[in-house]
Amino acid sequence: MTARAARAGQNGDDLDVEEALALVKEHPGGTPGTPGTPRHPRHDATDWAEARAVAERAPRHGTARRTGCLPPVAVPLGSALGLTLAAPLTALTDLPSFDTSAMDGWAVSGPGPWSVRDEGVLAGHTAHEPLTDGGAVRIATGARIPPDTTAVLRSEHGRTDDKGRLHVTAATRPPHTVTHGQDIRPRGQECRSGDQLLPSGTLITPPVLGMAAAAGYDTLTAVPRPRAEVLVLGDELLAEGLPHDGLIRDALGPLLPPWLRALGAEVTAVRRVGDTEQALYEAIAASDAHVVVTTGGTAAGPVDHVHPALRRMGAELLVDGVKVRPGHPMLLARTKEDQHLVGLPGNPLAAVSGLLTLAEPLLRTLAARPAPEPYTLPLRDAVQGHPYDTRLIPVALRGDRALPLLYNGPAMLRGIAAADALAVVPPGGTRPGQEAELLDLPWASGGIGVCFT
């Protein structure tokens, strides 16, 4: 623990959680966090915004691929959460499908007082005898209205006298009256059979599932989740225990599958691949995923096999390096007619950068998901820019400002683990209070349960 963190711990009551964790700068406006070190500026690398646009368009190649999304399938309601409707949701029934009581009370016919029948009417029961003028019957919320009912009187607005006759109490407004049709939900009030309830392209959320069930659906026509396979490269990686003897823990094997799922993918496999070109070539060639995601091996080191393996299989490189820090060696390739490969750099925050720059727009098109609304917020502190490249910086959202977090180096996860979003810092950097575009992290707005299930 640093001296500052220790101080923060002692004065924790006065500090934000980021300050207590020593994740933000002590003095707003002072020296900014770790800058990306300009190494060899790559003038052939793709601009960050253009790289995202290329990834979004990538599945729309060939003649029969106007939308780029996967062919629709029928999906049971229980499996459809998070998919996109591939056809308009059209009501299969009137809603309500019969005249129904909106309240517990009495169905009444004509003006009161009324004589109350002995038996009542419950929800889920079939048709009831018609009411005669001056008659009433006990009724439950959601029950079918008996024929010739003129209104429903709520239980708290009526009382029966010792002769069993029902009277309106003074509580109604105006007092002692019932209005025609009161507290009756007429058949078709919400929709008629055949009405369009939601357009094609709607994200299937919990209320959409409820709406579909109410409207008579058991399955929905939806764009399926694209299959994604994760290939984790690096003989130095351990699957468990403490780092030792130059070996480190694999951080991306646990990080990527749930995040890919939050981006709309079905993760079919996470495989460790040995550091040989042959092993990588075979793993890619054997995959039937729509999106293969590799980690590591994108640079030009002695065991960086992604480029050679792609060359060998005749893949088309769509993006080969992006003007973004961290993550500039990221790449996107078309490996087969219906398969793309996203090569994420091995440094963990660089991999996150590649995930949001290339995998997110690619999966969004394949799954026909709506694009997130772009938005900006002022950054509390200055952020030092890279001279040529965009920087993605973890930030915490606090009210109407974003706090740039420290520990944002390519090999670090400490900043992103405490972040709500990534700020897009243009070349040259930002001044304190300057607006920056934000990329929301899926759990920040949706909650873990909503976005990862």
Residue 249 identity (one-letter amino acid): R
Q: How far is residue 37's CA from residue 335's CA, in Å, rounded to a whole number? A: 32
Q: Which of 329, 394, 415, 442 binds ligand LQZAQKY5 (CB under 6 A)?
A: 329
Q: Which of 325, 364, 386, 391 binds ligand MOO (CB under 6 A)?
A: 325
Q: Which helix (H) or strand (E) holds 212?
A: helix 206-214
Q: Which of 56, 104, 304, 320 binds ligand LQZAQKY5 (CB under 6 A)?
A: 304
Q: Are 361 and 46 in contact (CB under 8 A)?
A: no
- What sections of 355-426 are H helices per DSSP? 360-366, 414-417
Q: Which of 95, 115, 308 is nearest to 213 (CA)?
A: 95
Establish if 301 lies at the interface with ligand LQZAQKY5 (CB under 6 A): yes
**Three-class SS of residue 10?**
helix
Establish if 410 lies at the interface with ligand MOO (CB under 6 A): yes
Q: How far is residue 203's CA from residue 208's CA, in Å, rounded to a whole number? A: 8
Establish if 230 lies at the interface with ligand LQZAQKY5 (CB under 6 A): no
- Work out what residue 96 binds among ligand LQZAQKY5, ligand MOO, none; the CB cut-off runs from 5 to 8 Å by kind: none
Strands in 227-233's sheet, in edge-to-edge order, are 266-273, 227-233, 291-295, 339-344, 331-336, 316-320
Q: Which of 350, 379, 382, 396 binds ligand MOO (CB under 6 A)?
A: 350
Please identify, using beta-carbon distances, which residue of 146 and 326 lies nearer to ligand MOO: 326
Establish if 345 lies at the interface with ligand MOO (CB under 6 A): yes
- Work out what residue 437 binds among ligand MOO, ligand LQZAQKY5, none; the CB cut-off runs from 5 to 8 Å by kind: none
Please identify, using beta-carbon distances, which residue of 224 and 354 lies nearer to ligand MOO: 354
**Three-class SS of residue 49?**
helix
Q: How far is residue 447's CA from residue 453's CA, in Å, rounded to a whole number? A: 10
Q: What's the longest Cα–Cα distance across the chain?
A: 98
CB of 328 to ligand MOO, least distance (A): 4
Establish if 36 lies at the interface with ligand MOO (CB under 6 A): yes
Residue 95: how many CB atoms within 10 A of its CB? Answer: 20
Q: Which of 55, 137, 252, 402 binds ligand LQZAQKY5 (CB under 6 A)?
A: 252
Question: In angstroms, how far is the first alpha carbon of the chain from the final one?
Answer: 35
Please identify, using beta-carbon distances, which residue of 86 and 324 lies nearer to ligand LQZAQKY5: 324
Positions in the binding site for ligand MOO (CB under 6 A): 36, 325-329, 345, 347, 350, 410
Positions in the binding site for ligand LQZAQKY5 (CB under 6 A): 39-40, 232, 234, 236-237, 248, 250-252, 295-299, 301, 304, 326, 328-329, 345-348, 350, 410
